[in-house]
Chain A
Amino acid sequence: MFEQIIALLEQNEMFTPDTIAEYWDGTVLTIQLTFLSVILGFFLAVPLAILRISDKRWLSRTIWLFTYVFRGTPLLIQLYIIYYGVSMIDGIQDSAIWFLLEDAFYPCLFAFVLNTAAYSTEIIRGALITTDKGEIEAAQAYGMSYGLILRRVILPSAFRRALPAYSNEVIFMLHATSIASVVTLVDITGAGYNVYSRFYAPFEAFTFAAGIYLCLCFSIFAVFRKLEKRAFRHLTKMPEHTLVTPSPVVS
């Protein structure tokens, strides 16, 4: 089978091993960007969401402003501001962190993390405020502190409820990383563009890129399906033979 694939690759002029390798490198970069921004964005979003539902109005409003601005403007603009803006800060080019910023990767990642953090904050906030009051009261009756209630009661059930919306956000992030190609990074889209300009064959080049994105998209979807199944296993119906005589319904 391997030989057949090689034979097939040798027959066409466009999808040579070099081209495939370019797409492969692009895929690796896309996965890196998506994974890192989602993970970092999530760890930023959880505390922000907790602060967002705080009773202190100024705190809640400040977080709201952050999410409002980042959700209300295009990611491309945010990326431009960070990518072009960072190099304009006085003295940054001589500073120790310049080697990090010289590459487009870190400004890109920074923009993506802030963007996904803003969206995730609102998703998690939505899940936090729909927590059943009775659960919190029960926890308080046990004498738990707010921190403990948050950790043991509110957050676990909120994560569960946030999962479906959050899976959308992750897929959105995968798609958003394609913007990295605008600032010279060669991700899947960038690879597609390079192949297009080399062979002047837009259909083939971009359809191939689209195919890779579709595969990644379905993989993310499958992972979240599994996670959701795990998270909601207490709600799934038990197999019938394990059921004991049904108890009368108390209404």
Chain B
Amino acid sequence: MLDLQGYGPGIFNGALITIQLAVYALVIAVVLGLITAVAKHSGGKLANLFATAYTSLVRGVPDLVLMMLIFFGLQVGLNDLSEWLYELHETYAINEFYIAQGWDSLSAFYDDGLYISIDEFAAGVITIGFIFGAYMAETFRGALLSVDAGQIEAATAYGMPESKIFRRIMFPLMMRFALPGIGNNWLVLVKTTALVSVIGLSDMVKLAKDAATQTFEPFLFFIPVALVYLAITTVSEIALKYLEIRYNRGVEGHSHV
């Protein structure tokens, strides 16, 4: 039997982290993607400009570079922020104000050296969500364009406000066109989560790498991890097929696949 030399449970937890990371990032990506697609589709000039800059810049730069930019950048940004807060605290005697209000003293907190560190998991989720928001935006934009204009006109004729048209007509109709693209993005996203190990998050890739370099058994640890990814991909593909059949129920030729 497979002997993971005591690293098994750790790597299993790492797999759970990978899945959680991917799912949370997907939620952020879908929300960001929808907002951006709508901004591109029916926003003003400025919104359109921002949306276009976002999607084309993010899609033109490797994920790893963006990840490092956001992750290390966030860290330095937060350090600057805490330094600034500390100076504020020194200059304006905020502590005295706090004590006068009868609140806890802040000094102890600040004297230890205020250091806001970012949670690697949150940073990973935000970064991957931000990157794939751009890809999702392109998927949703294409799907929005495929929605039959007559449907929107009919809804307008019923006197629906724009938000209602989006919620009741455009979104459900669009999903059918967007689903293959979303599925594709999801599969790429899952594989991209492996990169967070590079910026220090203990996902299954990092744990496997640590185990492999310590025991000099690279195949023993990397191949099971690769199989986990393959399993996630396979399950996702099956689920996507099922979803596609569901969303295509109302369309001729797809109803009884």
Residues of B within 8 A of A81 (CB): 218-219, 222-223, 226
Of all chain A residues, the one with the shortest Cβ separation from B204 is A77
Q: Quick one: CB contact mask for B197-241 with A, threshold 8 Å, 1 for yes?
A: 110000001001100110011110011011001100110000000
Instruction: Known A73-B229, A200-B76, A214-B61; judge A206-B222 contact (CB<8 A).
Output: no
Q: Is B191 an interface residue (CB 8 A)?
A: yes
Q: List 11 A-B contacts (CB under 8 A).
A: A73-B229, A77-B225, A80-B222, A85-B222, A88-B217, A178-B62, A182-B64, A196-B68, A206-B72, A210-B69, A213-B65
Q: Are the C-beta atoms of A189 and B64 separated by less than 8 Å?
A: yes
Q: Is A207 an interface residue (CB 8 A)?
A: yes
Q: Are the C-beta atoms of A203 and B219 separated by less than 8 Å?
A: no
Residues of B within 8 A of A206 (CB): 65, 68-69, 72-73
Number of interface residues of B (CB under 8 A): 39
Q: Is A75 an interface residue (CB 8 A)?
A: yes
Q: Are the C-beta atoms of B197 and A72 separated by less than 8 Å?
A: no
Q: Is A117 an interface residue (CB 8 A)?
A: no
Q: How large is the interface on A (under 10, 10 to 19, 20 to 34, 35 or more residues)?
A: 35 or more
Q: Is A76 an interface residue (CB 8 A)?
A: yes
Q: Is A154 an interface residue (CB 8 A)?
A: no
Q: Are the C-beta atoms of B191 and A75 separated by less than 8 Å?
A: yes
Q: Is B66 an interface residue (CB 8 A)?
A: yes
Q: Are the C-beta atoms of A88 and B216 separated by less than 8 Å?
A: yes
Q: Are the C-beta atoms of B191 and A202 separated by less than 8 Å?
A: no
Q: Give the docked Cα–Cα distance between A85 and B218 (Å).
A: 5
Of all chain B residues, the one with the shortest Cβ separation from A215 is B60
Q: Are the C-beta atoms of A193 and B63 separated by less than 8 Å?
A: no
Given contacts A77-B226, A206-B73, A210-B61, 5 further A-B contacts (CB under 8 A): A72-B234, A81-B223, A193-B68, A202-B68, A214-B61
Question: Which A54-84 residues sit within 8 Å CB-CB of chain B?
Answer: 68-69, 72-78, 80-81, 84
Q: Are the C-beta atoms of B219 and A85 separated by less than 8 Å?
A: yes
Q: Are the C-beta atoms of A74 and B191 separated by less than 8 Å?
A: yes
Interface of A is mostly: helix
Q: Is A136 an interface residue (CB 8 A)?
A: no
Q: Is B185 an interface residue (CB 8 A)?
A: no
Interface of B is mostly: helix
Of all chain B residues, the one with the shortest Cβ separation from A86 is B218
Q: Quick one: CB contact mask for A174-187 with B, threshold 8 Å, 1 for yes?
A: 11111101100000
Residues of B within 8 A of A75 (CB): 191, 194
Q: Is B49 an interface residue (CB 8 A)?
A: no
Q: Give the docked Cα–Cα distance between A129 and B223 (Å).
A: 33
Q: Is B75 an interface residue (CB 8 A)?
A: yes
Residues of A within 8 A of B230 (CB): 68-69, 72-73
Q: Is A118 an interface residue (CB 8 A)?
A: no
Q: Is B117 an interface residue (CB 8 A)?
A: no
Residues of B within 8 A of A76 (CB): 194-195, 197-198, 205
Q: Which of A72, A196, A214 contacts B72 (CB 8 A)?
A: A196
Q: Which of B63, B72, B219, B223 contacts A175 (CB 8 A)?
A: B63
Q: Are the C-beta atoms of A203 and B194 separated by less than 8 Å?
A: no
Q: Is A41 an interface residue (CB 8 A)?
A: no
Residues of A within 8 A of B105 (CB): none
Q: Are the C-beta atoms of B65 and A74 separated by less than 8 Å?
A: no
Q: Give the docked Cα–Cα distance between A80 and B224 (Å).
A: 13
Q: Are the C-beta atoms of B76 and A203 separated by less than 8 Å?
A: yes
Instruction: Known A72-B229, A72-B233; judge A80-B209 contact (CB<8 A).
Output: yes
Q: Are the C-beta atoms of A214 and B219 separated by less than 8 Å?
A: no
Q: Are the C-beta atoms of A217 and B60 separated by less than 8 Å?
A: yes
Minimum C-beta distance from B177 to chain A (A): 19
Q: Which of B66, B75, B219, B234 contacts A210 (CB 8 A)?
A: B66
Q: Are the C-beta atoms of A202 and B205 separated by less than 8 Å?
A: no
Q: Give the docked Cα–Cα distance between A75 and B212 (Å).
A: 17
Q: Is B57 an interface residue (CB 8 A)?
A: yes
Minimum C-beta distance from A184 to chain B (A): 13
Instruction: Known A74-B192, A74-B229; judge A203-B64 contact (CB<8 A).
Output: no
Residues of B within 8 A of A177 (CB): 62
Q: Are the C-beta atoms of A189 and B219 separated by less than 8 Å?
A: no
Minimum C-beta distance from A80 to chain B (A): 5
Of all chain B residues, the one with the shortest Cβ separation from A218 is B60
Q: Give the docked Cα–Cα distance between A74 and B195 (Å).
A: 9
Minimum C-beta distance from A44 to chain B (A): 20
> What are the 9 tightest A-B residue pairs by CB atom distance, in nearest-first order?
A74-B194, A202-B72, A84-B218, A206-B69, A175-B62, A178-B62, A72-B233, A74-B191, A210-B61
